[in-house]
A and B are shown apart, each in its own frame.
Chain A
Amino acid sequence: MQTHQYDVVIVGAGGAGMRAALESGQRVRTAVLTKLYPTRSHTGAAQGGMCAALANVEEDNWEWHTFDTVKGGDFLVDQDAAEVMAKEAIDAVLDLEKMGLPFNRTPDGLIDQRRFGGHTRKHGEAAVRRSCFAADRTGHMILQTLYQQCIKREVEFFNEFYVLDLLFTEVDGVKRTAGVVAYELATGEIHVFRAKAVIFATGGAGKVYKTTSNAHTLTGDGMAIAYRRGLPLEDMEFFQFHPTGLAGLGILLSEAARGEGAILRNSEGERFMERYAPTLKDLAPRDVVARAMANEVREGRGAGPNKDYVLLDLTHLEPSHIDAKLPDITEFARTYLGVEPYTEPVPVFPTAHYAMGGMPTTIDAEVLADNTHVLPGLYAAGEVACVSVHGANRLGTNSLLDINVFGRRAGLAAAVFAEKAPLVELPEAPSDATVALLEAIRDRADGERVAVLRRELQETMDANAQVFRSEATLKQALSDIQALKTRYANVSVQDKGRRFNTDLLEAVELGFLLDLAEVIVVGALERKESRGGHFREDYQNRDDVNYMRHTMAYRSSDDDGAGVRLDFKPVVVTRYQPMERKF
């Protein structure tokens, strides 16, 4: 075991982690740990843009952006946090431009902007051009630009270091952050990182589902580690299903396609979104569009031989326009489905895309240990966190915004904290739990296969906890997950080696996914209403009287083993009272 010492340790090198590192690294000694290489992070897969009310191409202001975020999130958004995000969005975009990000430009040389789902002028009057973009690879350019700045500022990275535990030490009766434990993939060695402050920026957990736009590596590590260490997870039942995944594959086709004029059609060629969202049509928020698509298929108007998808029609757009604004996603359609978007509509269906929930934080990215108390020295930003700026449904582009605004805030807050905080002693035998976790799996001679359990988990989640949910389906999912957890206790791997043991890594990741799936389903069962991305067939309306509250899920150990205990937290309402959500 090796021990390292830093002021701030950042876990994850996607957009949030690297944005935090740029702030923290200039002020205090900072290390960034990533289970990949920084440029492999899934921020790079984001396509459409990052919204900010720059008003470069038409009238706009941050208050409208705040309103859209709150309404898009079906009023589960903490409105103070949404206001911070919408206000700081403008500087966040300008900062990226100054760092060198190659945004698309207007004829005057300003940052160009385009329409995106749920973003409107004058509180819903019509779609507004708010998304700042670099073709359909905005996330790629953000990831590259932040990495380039990290090189410039000599940020210290530990690549392929997989963090598996978070350490706390009690000081004068208060639990404080002491560091993290990491597994070095190349050697199999255990490293303990002592730090005054730790920032979790580990991203999402899309691999809970089978059909997902998420990378294989998005296994909710940070969320699950925090949960296992007794911290709450907020609003995990809210998962976003992005309307336009490539049918059967789940690969993301950006909402930017619809922002540029593409239209969703059913098997009859009908532009069905006109029925579901008369004003915004195809550019309604994602939960509305995904549900409409699933409903068209359910009512027999799906396209294709099995009538199990709908069509994204770009054929009325000029090929030169498609090439200029949507080059990558049209290439995805060609490469993976053999469809030519110039002339043929593209088969699409909703794909699990984004966890609205996560580790609860303040607007300064401090992690909450309960409804009100922060855990000193622990921060979280990006998809792993729940500020909550996305509420029950995140608006498109607000994730790239979230990682920049709250990544920056996390880096600043952690550095300021570390400048004055003492280094906390490590707990006794800090790596024992991690070593025990790994060796139990590695040493088991024979047992359940990781891939089998993972597939069963993903299949039950797709079947029972996806766009449409009910008490019956959720109970089925829960009993499946619990049975899988029992079998997981007997999981084994074939690779018994030390070096690059990705077999072992996948087994650990599966354990995280199982824990998180249980939290998602238990939260969804308890929430007997429909709101944003969470739609209950048995409770089809939003119920503000009983459910306008955040879910706080804690791991509880009872005689039957670990279960989920739920608590609730009020929503912060400042300017906007809940209203009926029409688009």
Chain B
Amino acid sequence: MTAAVADAPAAGAIPSFQVTLRLRRFNPENDTEPRWEDHTVTMHGTDRVLDALHKIKWEIDGSLTFRRSCAHGICGSDAMRINGRNRLACKTLLKDLPLDKPITVEPIKGLAVLKDLVVDMDPFFEAYKSIMPFLVTSGNDPSRERRQSPEDRARYDDTTKCIMCAACTTSCPVYWSDGQYFGPQAIVGAHRFIFDSRDEGAEERLEILNDRDGVWRCRTTFNCTDACPRGIEVTKAIQEVKRALLFRRV
């Protein structure tokens, strides 16, 4: 490359830009209160928030702590509150955010912060476990597969996409204010089986969700649907469960 092309990026070059991340930090070994910390880094066109977090961790401050694994929106490790909205850091491209002001990155809300962006996921998984998230059948298993028509298979397809990242549950105002509510994800998990034609556990599951901390707590704010990185219509799934409870049929 020569100086003549300094003004315009060379063909194929990926444009770079400066971005400031405003991170919510908390180290239980040193801090009594969470604090904000700014870092400015140079990033490239296809980079995601996760890349910027890595750049800070790897080049500036190794103690910055967050969970991540697959880095392409499948494992569900890196749900965070980015500019006030729950998203996956690995699925949020920097170029899609306003870069003229700092990007705020905080832990998801409603679960105890353990360190920086890491929260205690155990209550979330416990809520999931409580709704019998497994196929319930009676009698002997058939020798071949159970049959299911493509239409019956499609009935619950949307809720099978859930990666348990907790973006929905921790975007729910009811969940923030009420430690007992199952939260949207557990209801999504229940929906996946309630509407599966092979399953025989719907009655029992609906009874669990009919509890005072169950599905009726939902105030239909649609935060969960907006937050879902998999595009699941979470609020619709909750409404379908409510309707099934009202009419006792699936």
CB within 8 Å of B: which residues of A? 36-37, 39-42, 44-45, 94, 97-100, 102-111, 134-135, 137, 140-141, 144, 148-149, 151-152, 186, 215-217, 248-249, 251-252, 304-306, 328, 332, 335-337, 449-451, 493-495, 497-503
Question: Does B12 contact A305, Cβ atoms closer than 8 Å?
Answer: yes
The residue from A98, A137, A141, A502 contacting B65, defined by CB atoms under 8 A apart = A502
**B146 cross-chain contacts in A, Cβ below 8 A:** 97-98
Instruction: Identify which of residues 62-80 in chain B touch chain A, using a CB-to-CB cut-off of 8 Å.
Output: 62-63, 65-77
- Collect the chain A residues with CB atoms within 8 Å of residue B59's CB: 449, 451
Which of B35-43, B157-165, B206-214 is near enough to bind chain A? B157-165
Does residue B153 face the partner (Cβ distance < 8 Å to A)? Answer: yes
Asked whether, in the complex, the Cβ of B147 is within 8 Å of the Cβ of A108, the reply is yes
Asked whether B221 is an interface residue with its Cβ less than 8 Å from the other chain, the reply is no
Contacts of A449 in B (CB 8 A): 58-59
Given A151-B133, A305-B11, A337-B46: A110 in contact with B147 (beta carbons within 8 A): yes
Chain B positions 123 through 148: 1 when the CB is less than 8 Å from some CB of chain A, otherwise 0? 00100110011110000011011111
- A221 nearest CB across to chain B (Å): 13
> Cβ of B132: which chain A residues have Cβ within 8 Å of it?
152
Chain B positions within 8 Å of A103 at CB level: 145, 153
A451 engages B75 (CB within 8 Å): no
- Does A148 lie within 8 Å of B11, measured CB to CB? no
B135 and A148 form a contact (CB under 8 A): yes
B29 in contact (CB, < 8 A): yes
Are the CB atoms of B70 and A42 closer together than 8 Å? yes
Smallest CB separation, A306 vs chain B (Å): 4
A-B pairs, 6 with minimum CB distance: A100-B135, A305-B12, A451-B58, A109-B147, A494-B62, A495-B63
A137 / chain B contacts, CB cutoff of 8 Å: 74, 161
- Quick one: closest B residue to A188, CB to CB? B29
A348 CB, nearest partner CB in chain B, Å: 14
Which of B27, B59, B153 has the largest count of A CB atoms less than 10 A from its CB? Answer: B153
Q: How large is the interface on B (under 10, 10 to 19, 20 to 34, 35 or more residues)?
A: 35 or more
Is A503 touching B75 in the complex (CB atoms < 8 A)? no
Among A40, A151, A335, which residue has its beta carbon within 8 angstroms of that of B69? A40
Are the CB atoms of A215 and B157 closer together than 8 Å?
Answer: no
Are A251 and B72 in contact (CB-based, < 8 A)? yes
Contact of A42 among B69, B157, B198 (CB under 8 A): B69
A500 touches B114 (CB 8 A): yes
Q: Indicate if the CB atoms of B72 and A140 lie closer than 8 Å.
A: no
Separation in Å of the A340 CB from the closest CB of chain B? 16
Whether B57 is near chain A, meaning CB under 8 Å from some CB there, is yes
| B121 at interface, CB cutoff 8 A | yes
Q: Give 20 pairs: A residue, B residue, CB < 8 Å, sorted on A.
A: A36-B69, A37-B125, A39-B164, A40-B69, A99-B134, A100-B193, A100-B196, A106-B150, A107-B150, A109-B149, A135-B157, A137-B161, A148-B135, A152-B132, A336-B93, A497-B63, A498-B29, A500-B65, A500-B115, A500-B118
Q: Which residue of A lies closest to B14 (CB)?
A: A248
Partner of B74, one of A45, A98, A104: A45
Q: Judging by beta carbons under 8 Å apart, are B121 and A37 in contact?
A: yes
Instruction: State whether A248 and B115 are in contact (beta carbons under 8 Å apart), knowing that A39-B163, A109-B147 are contacts in the complex.
Output: no
Chain B contacts for A497, CB-based, 8 A: 27, 29-30, 63
Q: Does B199 contact A (CB under 8 A)?
A: yes
The distance in angstroms between the C-alpha atoms of A108 and B153, with both chains bound, is 12
Closest Cβ of chain A to B98, distance in Å, is 18
Q: Contact check: which of A249, A335, A451, A494 meets B91 at CB < 8 Å? A: A335
Add 6 more A-B contacts to A216-B69, A216-B71, A494-B61 (CB < 8 A). A40-B67, A40-B75, A97-B145, A98-B142, A99-B134, A251-B72
